[in-house]
Amino acid sequence: MTVRRDFKEPARCRPDLVIGRDELYATAREQLTRGGSVLLHGPAGIGKSTVLRALAADYGDAARTVLRCSATESESHLPFLALADLFGLVLDEISDKLPAAQRTALESALTGRGESTLQRDGLALRLAVLSALRALAATRPVLLVADDLQWLDSASAELLGFAARRLGDTPVQLLCAVRTEGQEYDRHLRASPPDTLAVRLNPLSSAQVSALLDHRGYTDLPRSTMREIHRTSGGNPLFALELGRALGENPTPPRPGEPLPVPTSLRDLVLSRLDMLSAEARRTLLVASAGARPTLALLHAAGRENAEAETARAAELGLLTTEPEGPAVRFTHPLISAALYAEAPAQERRAAHAALSTAASDPIERARNLALATTGTDPEVAARLAEAAALSRDRGAPSVAASLGLLAARHTPQDGTPAADRHRLQAAEDAITAGEVDLARDIAREVLTRATVAADRIRAWEVVIEAAGQALGDVDAVFPQALADAGDDPRLLALVRYHLAWRKLIVEGDFSEARQEAAHAAELAARGGDRRTELMALSFQSSTETLMGHPNAPATIKQAMKEPQDPYVACHHNGVGAARFRWLMMSDQLAEARSTITALLREVRRRGMVESEVHFQRFLAETELRSGHCGRALDLARESLRLARDSGIGLGASAMLASLAEASGGDVDRALALAREAAERAEEDGDQMYLSRALAALGHAQLVAGDAAGAVGSLRRVRELEAGLRITDPARGRWQGDLAEALVRVGEPREAQDVIDVTREHALRLDRESVLAVLDRSEAMVRAALGDHEAALARLTSVQDRLAKLGYGLEEARAAFALARLRTLRPGAGPGPTSYDEAARLFRRCRALPWLRQVERAAAEGAAAQAQRPAAVGRQQQQQASDVLEGLAAMERQVAALVMEGATNREIAARLFISVKTVEATLTRVYRKLGIRSRVDIVRLAAGRHAK
């Protein structure tokens, strides 16, 4: 039963559509499932009602009686209104179950006889509410859903608190929401059942705000605007939606440097206290809202003589926060600053900026305020803005540089030098560096509508191509136009050819053609004197050659590292530093690879190169994962994925690496989901290169999850893809060992050996020591599956030592695990109590939790098998069995022989490194060939008796 009063359940409040509240929602849902109560709290607009409705819809099913109330400020003075909401429609159901005095008191309150009811019939009414809840709960559990507790009338609040504290084990739960600005929810918690969980809703992240706006249909907003919405809203979903709606309805987007338009609904909400300030105090706050980092000293320098008293008054009204330890003037919420600025007349805004243009100490801030104080074009203002943009670039703030560059273009006269479009192109390039690809693309497209100079057009085409990211197939039409614009200028042609090399690799998957195109681009750039493009092309060529296993790779890397170097290329994610890192990783030089990528990551963070930061964070995570530092790798991979989601850059690659890290040190189900996400994204982008990496991650996760058949399917496809791409260096994806192991588990040791043999040939040619060691581990499993346990043991012992010396901690632990399983489960051997201790110790050192769980499971199964295993058959019986099984295939003989020893299907699967399903299928073939029907008949054969 559901009783409600004007309480609608919008479809968008299904739990799967509660944006950004997954963990919080799961926590609250679990608390309700345990029989507890939940109090949601947080500031206005933070999403409490949305989560409340979703939880009520999800948890308050037909098996419960759901009583609802939703208070409003305008009704908070009316006594017993919430009580009427809750019990009004169930009074007839419970009234005859209440004592007469209680029934009279409750009916009096619900029918509104007057405020004196609680005072006159106080105890009877309190007991009536308690009895009513108990009567309802006697039939089925009761869920009370109350929104906006802060507006609950005092009489109803007192009665509900009285009942809540006395319900005991009665199956009545409360699901409530209350508005709080800080942590002042204690009084509401005291009026709730003792087992109530207080859950605070915090602001949404930038990515969550973006997802919320996308879900509500505001999909065309540039990423830079999304970021500004997040900043202005403070992560408050209601504020973000209102700002998004205002932008969607405004045909003219705000100019660079200008704040977002604040709708009237939000102005009224946040500026209601502003009328209590004097006009001068409001002007002081306007100057503070116009400044980037306002302080009292800055306000004084800007002519606000009474700043101390005026800001103190604003703090009393809750508009500013007081910071006794610092001089900063901070608004209690960014929206207050934005609304105050939006409310001010244009003339007063310009006056505030004019005052700040001389008062600010920072040259960037002075230039920005000068621009916002100036109307029309002004070459001096444009020049100062261009200088400020260059300074921002040097400081590692490319996003600020892009904004200042656009302001410079706006203030540049029509015949100015440099032209306005040159400022715009520089701003677009800065936006690319900052990861604001939507803004960069829009600027470049605008320039292309009027640019006639070939160099300007090629710069613009470059931005369009860069903004496409991995989806280069989406900009196929750009390349013929760019080639036509480049003409026969080697410098311009080099730029286009460099991007064509990337297209050859990503879209067509042709490493050979990509390598040749990159070499051509490097030659053209050298002829045109463009050292930056030459170095980028050489770096790309060396990376391609490395992945191909081309013999020229070391020479090309050495050529790319020659002086003079370009600082930008040296730290770019496609530059020479990244190419060298890849070479070090593939050559098993993990320590040097770590120091190289750590230095690169530090430099790109200093420069504000967001795209490179995403990639380098991922590279560092990969280095830690190879080294066996799974916990550290997991933290880095998750951070890289978060940054990728926030910026919209490198999502597929970051999801792929995060999958590998989750499978090794985190959650295997999450690893599977991330690998599938990465594969889907690569297929959507037409990116064959990363598709193979994503499928390799998926196969690895499936292997860890115990789905050997799924792993074989994924990794066979990787093998086909990389053969088509002509990738021959096995150190690129390192999936071959996983495929061989999975093939053994599904009963295909011959194919596993073929994978090992082909891979070993390339690994020997390229001197890939770690790959060779992993292949030897896989071959040991093949030998064990074919019955040669002694050779398998000898090989595994060597493998573990080699991997330890190379620094591959996780692979070393996997070798120890395989060795323990072989020692424990080989024919004639019984497991000792410490058989798996070494593998467990190594996995624990790596923080490889999924693998550690496998070890614990194997140890438990081995101990149980040892306790149940019967005595081995005698030599004569074994010989008789051997004669009987002579006509079977090798795998069938091994399975049948282990059945004769009394091994279970699970034990057989563990010994032979195959799946239980493979054991079952093999036994079916054995039964058919021997003309028998069951495992019992095989045991009879072992004893020399005929099956009946």
Which of residues 230 and 74 earns the better pLDDT score?
A: 230
Identify the pLDDT of residue 148.
87
Lowest-confidence pick of 167-171, 437-441, 646-650, 812-816: 646-650
Identify the pLDDT of residue 864.
59
d(CA 35, CA 49): 21
Confidence band for 947, pLDDT divided at 50, 70 and 90: very low
d(CA 137, CA 146): 18
Task: Give the pLDDT mean for 703-707.
Answer: 93
pLDDT at 854 over 80: yes
Task: Give the pLDDT mean for 399-426.
Answer: 92
pLDDT at 522 over 70: yes
Which of residues 193 and 181 earns the better pLDDT score?
A: 193
Question: How does pLDDT run across 336-380, given as a tens digit for each residue?
Answer: 888 888 888 999 999 999 999 999 989 999 999 999 999 989 999
Count Cα atoms within 13 angstroms, Cβ side, for 247: 23
d(CA 512, CA 19): 45
Which of residues 579 and 824 earns the better pLDDT score?
A: 579
**φ/ψ of residue 883, rounded to 5:** -65, -45
pLDDT at 157 over 80: yes
Identify the pLDDT of residue 928.
79
Lowest-confidence pick of 12-16, 87-91, 276-280: 12-16
The residue among 560, 568, 512, 515 whose CA lies nearest residue 539 is 560
pLDDT at 641 over 80: yes
Lowest-confidence pick of 164-173, 244-253, 469-478, 546-555: 244-253
Tell me what percent of the residues of the chain surpass a pLDDT of 90.
Answer: 42
Q: Which amino acid appears at position 919 of this protein?
A: V
The residue among 121, 199, 112 whose CA lies nearest residue 159 is 121
In order of 366, 385, 426, the CA distances from 379 in angstroms are 16, 10, 17
Helix, coil or strand: residue 921: helix
Query: Across the chain, what does the average pLDDT equal?
Result: 85
Confidence band for 900, pLDDT divided at 50, 70 and 90: confident
Spatial contact of 869 and 861, defined as CB atoms under 8 Å apart:
no
The residue among 517, 508, 514, 449 whose CA lies nearest residue 483 is 517
Identify the pLDDT of residue 903.
76
Identify the pLDDT of residue 1.
35
Q: What is residue 150's DSSP assignment?
A: G
Identify the pLDDT of residue 621.
96
Task: Give the pLDDT mean for 167-179.
Answer: 89
In order of 102, 168, 496, 719, 882, the CA distances from 94 in angstroms are 11, 20, 80, 70, 79
Confidence band for 553, pLDDT divided at 50, 70 and 90: confident
Identify the pLDDT of residue 11.
36
Q: Kindly report the number of other CB atoms within 10 A of residue 778's CB atom.
A: 29
Tell me what percent of the residues of the chain surpass a pLDDT of 70.
Answer: 89
Question: How does pLDDT run across 125-140, given as a tens digit for each residue?
Answer: 888 888 999 999 988 8
Confidence band for 832, pLDDT divided at 50, 70 and 90: very low
Identify the pLDDT of residue 881.
52
Task: Give the pLDDT mean for 237-253.
Answer: 79
Identify the pLDDT of residue 921.
81
Greatest mean pLDDT among 236-245, 604-613, 652-661, 911-920 lies in 652-661
Task: Give the pLDDT mean for 766-776.
Answer: 94
Q: Which amino acid appears at position 497 of this protein?
A: R
- CA 768: distance to chain centroid? 33
Task: Give the pLDDT mean for 385-401.
Answer: 91
Token pair listed for 617: 């964070």
Confidence band for 481, pLDDT divided at 50, 70 and 90: very high
The residue among 460, 451, 516, 527 whose CA lies nearest residue 489 is 527
Identify the pLDDT of residue 521.
96
Question: How does pLDDT run across 188-233, given as a tens digit for each residue?
Answer: 777 788 888 999 998 888 878 888 888 887 777 777 778 788 888 8
Question: How does pLDDT run across 588-621, given as a tens digit for each residue?
Answer: 999 999 999 999 999 999 888 888 999 999 999 9
d(CA 475, CA 626): 36
pLDDT at 833 over 60: no
Identify the pLDDT of residue 865.
56
In order of 197, 198, 546, the CA distances from 28 in angstroms are 8, 9, 51
| Matching residue, tokens 């009987």 | 884
| 3-state percent breakdown (helix, strand, coil) of the chain, nearest 5 | 70, 5, 25
Identify the pLDDT of residue 883.
57
Confidence band for 827, pLDDT divided at 50, 70 and 90: low
pLDDT at 655 over 90: yes
Which of residues 270 and 734 earns the better pLDDT score?
A: 734
Question: How does pLDDT run across 5-44, given as a tens digit for each residue?
Answer: 333 333 334 444 578 888 888 899 999 998 899 999 988 8
Cβ neighbours of residue 463 closer than 8 Å, sequence gap 6 or more: 425, 428, 429, 432, 440, 441, 443, 444
The residue among 154, 107, 113, 155 whose CA lies nearest residue 132 is 107
Identify the pLDDT of residue 16.
45
pLDDT at 668 over 50: yes
Cβ neighbours of residue 321 closer than 8 Å, sequence gap 6 or more: 315, 330, 331, 332
In order of 32, 85, 147, 431, the CA distances from 70 in angstroms are 20, 8, 5, 47
Task: Give the pLDDT mean for 301-313.
Answer: 91
Which of residues 675 and 250 earns the better pLDDT score?
A: 675
Lowest-confidence pick of 39-48, 144-153, 506-515, 874-883: 874-883
pLDDT at 942 over 50: yes
Lowest-confidence pick of 25-29, 320-324, 804-808, 920-924: 320-324
Task: Give the pLDDT mean for 134-158.
Answer: 88
Token pair listed for 822: 């072989």
Cβ neighbours of residue 453 closer than 8 Å, sequence gap 6 or more: none
Which of residues 93 and 272 earns the better pLDDT score?
A: 93
d(CA 522, CA 288): 52
